[in-house]
Amino acid sequence: MKIKFNTLLVALISFFTLVSCHDDLNQTPIDPDSTTEEDVFANASQAKGALAKLYASLALTGQQGPAGQPDISGIDEGFSQFSRMLFNLNELTTDQAIVGWGDPGLPDLHGLSWSSGNDFTEAMYYRLAQEVSFTNSFISNAELLADEEVNQFIAEARFLRAFAYYNLMDLYGNVPLTTEISTELPQQASREEIFNFVEEELLEIEDQLADSGANEYGRVDRVAAWALLSRLYLNAESFIGTPRYNDAVTYSEKVINSSYSINTTDANGNGSAYDELFLADNNTNGAQKEFIFTLNFDGIQSQTFGGTTFLVHAAVGGTMNPAEFGINGGWAGNRTTKSFVNKFVKTNAELNASIGPVSDWGIIGNSTPNGWADPDTDMYEASPNVFKIFTELTEGELKFRKNDDWSVSFGGENGNLIPDGDNIIVETTGRVVITLNLNNNTYTIQSIYESLPDARAMFYTDGQTLEINDVSTFEDGFAVTKFRNIDSNGNPGSDSTGDFVDTDLPVIRLAEIYLNYAEATLRGGGGNASRAVNLINELRERAYGNNSANITSGDLDLQFVLDERSRELYWEGLRRTDLIRYEQFTTNQYLWPFKGGVKDGVSAPTYRRLFPIPNDLLTINPNLTQNDGY
């Protein structure tokens, strides 16, 4: 069942230490007269309510929802919710997302040009620091209860604290390490010390957590600890300079051999089980079999302008119909770049080589690569009298010619060829596949993105351009349709107003661990290469609906795994970390539109691999040192 995080929790969290945007050492109870620590921890049943607050603090932002009575004062509740910040810092800074809004500091994220006072990097730090504070307080109080059930609650709280510290280490590097409530100014720990703490915590609690799949939906079990260790070890060389790929393989195997399984249920009958993972009933439609750690959302009981409410609303705009996404309107903000879209298709040269031999027919015109000048752009013979080409078209006109000779040419309109007819007006631009069929004298010009065989390619293209010329224009860049507030039967979520979303957000799911295993194996982790291929093919068979896109061991290399992670896990909060691990985040080894604030992309200083420590904390605590470059 879902844990419902509602306003009944107000009385249960009055004792928690709060983290203020202006003074993170303030320890102010929300309502000091409402209840006491003794009331909250009177027994296991009461303690469970306080545990719910720890989970809720990653999904929600305060005691009222969607705003009012915030847990952290001084920052906007809507934009400061944890997973919304995770998207902003780990996706918006990459090739997978770009936003059209101009809120101060927001465009700087995609441009890799944020300052040390950026509101969004500060908001994430405070949100994670709050989770550490809440978990520390819970653990210290719950330890006073000699109860076996409460011991499991404590293990869950320690997991959530380790998860918060994992993200602090990933995003900010060297941060204070505190495991108890204190008025002393904390010392700054090294990244390696934080790494060691997260590792030790997860290893200590794995046997104290519930068995695989034995906990309530939305609460973690020991597989979550193994999965986070898999992620931790995969990034160890990037984080602390020490490879731990053998350990990454070991803990990935533990997860893979657990009770969790890849969802293959196509509940809505659309031929794909992938989209079930991101629908409003993903807690019951079969997707939950794959979810190891989720943030739970309910359009009635847990309202927030972050979470999946943000992911759904912000991705809808242009000519998109909000009702198809189970909402009352789009916010017209987030899209993606052509660098990510093109992860789902081969290059034009590769696609053309797969058609057949070069033919005598070609295309010419100001919309074609060679313009009106000779030679024509050659087409390829797909079958007798049928010719195709994958190419790029711009606005303009074209004709078909044989042997670069005007004596045999075709114009046409509405898909019908006309010998020596008028020029064909090009209405479909960008990457296209053009077919010339001389058996029935027809032609087609089709965007190659309209019918991609990979079900994970969830894009809206009508009225959207692949190319981004103006970041502030929603129609520049393809829209992403991955997250929806409709169930497997097409029904909207529980909030009849269409404001808030039911879709749960997988923070860790089994597919990631499959890919962790494959990558760690390739990096020398001692895994089985054949098994790595089989695991990836399991994901690809779900994506394609058959084995037509299966790979062999010869296809499996590190770049392929990185691209497959992009195709499988986009907009799930992992991309920045992946690119850093592959040395592609700040370098010119991989450029994407508006990386570094330049249309074609430029490299950025290496210090951008970390975000700055909030300036307010540096003022308050002289023990802290700012990250290099800020």
Q: Pick 325 or 450 by higher pLDDT.
A: 325
Q: Would you state the pLDDT for residue 134?
A: 96
Is pLDDT at 152 greater than 90 in this prediction?
Answer: yes
Is the model's pLDDT at 10 over the cut of 80? no
Q: Percent of the chain having pLDDT more than 90?
A: 86
Q: Are 597 and 112 in contact (CB under 8 A)?
A: yes
Contact status, residue 586 vs residue 112, Cβ threshold 8 Å: yes
pLDDT tens, 89-117? 999 999 999 999 999 999 999 999 999 99
pLDDT, residue 11, reads 27
* Calpha distance 137→141 (Å, rounded): 6
How far from 92 is each of 89, 335, 572, CA to CA, in Å? 6, 10, 11
Q: Please tell me the predicted confidence (pLDDT) of residue 24.
A: 34
605 pLDDT band (50/70/90 cuts)? very high
Letter string b/e over residues 133-150, b meaning 16 or more CB atoms within 10 A of that residue's CB: bbbbbbbebbeebeeeeb
Task: Residue 181: name the closest of 12, 25, 10, 57 by CA.
Answer: 25
Lowest mean pLDDT across 2-16, 145-159, 329-343, 564-578: 2-16
Q: Please name the helix (run of DSSP H) or strand (run of DSSP E) that holds residue 392, with its range, or none.
A: strand 386-393
434-446 pLDDT per residue, tens: 999 999 999 999 9
From the CB of residue 183, how many other CB atoms can be counted at a distance below 10 Å? Answer: 6
**Residues 66-82: tens digit of each pLDDT:** 888 888 888 888 889 99
Mean pLDDT of 353-359: 96
**Residue 292: which pLDDT band, with cuts at 50, 70 and 90?**
very high
- The confidence band for 35, taking pLDDT boundaries of 50, 70 and 90, is low
Q: pLDDT averaged over the chain? A: 92
Percentage, residues of the chain above pLDDT 70: 94
The pLDDT of residue 5 is above 80: no
Per-residue pLDDT reduced to its tens digit, 154-163: 999 999 999 9
* Mean pLDDT in residue range 417-428: 96
Model confidence band, residue 359 (pLDDT cutoffs 50, 70, 90):
very high
pLDDT for residue 499 is more than 50 = yes
Q: Which helix (H) or strand (E) holds 218?
A: none
Is residue 372 predicted with pLDDT exceeding 80? yes
Q: What pLDDT band is residue 388 in, cutting at 50, 70 and 90?
A: very high
Label residue 451 by pLDDT band (50, 70, 90). Answer: confident
Q: What is the pLDDT of residues 212-269, one digit of tens each?
A: 999 999 999 999 999 999 999 999 999 999 999 999 999 999 999 999 999 999 888 8
Give the pLDDT score at 41: 85
Write the CA distances from 544 to 87, 258, 539, 554, integer angstroms: 27, 25, 9, 20
Strand partners of residue 401: 362, 409
Closest by alpha carbon to 139, among 245, 54, 263? 54
Q: Is the pLDDT of residue 32 over 90?
A: no
- Whose CA is closest to 334, among 321, 346, 348, 317? 317
Task: Name the pLDDT band for 17 (thresholds 50, 70, 90).
Answer: very low
Mean pLDDT calculated for residue range 265-280: 91
Residue 478 burial (C-beta neighbours within 10 Å; 0-12, 13-18, 19+): buried
Angle between helices 44-59 and 119-142 (to 10 degrees): 170
Residue carrying the six token digits 């799930």:
572
CA torsion angle 234 235 241 247 (round to 10): -30
Nearest to 359 by CA among 401, 391, 326, 320: 401
> Would you state the pLDDT for residue 14?
30
- Interatomic CA distance for residues 342 and 339, integer angstroms: 5
Q: Is the pLDDT of residue 18 over 80?
A: no
Sequence-distant (≥ 6) Cβ neighbours of residue 42 within 8 angstroms: none
Asked whether the beta carbons of 501 and 342 are under 8 A apart, the reply is no
Rounded mean pLDDT, 616-620: 93
Residues 501 and 306: their CA atoms lie apart, in Å, by 10
pTM: 0.90
Q: Which pLDDT band, with edges at 50, 70 and 90, does 595 fall under? A: very high
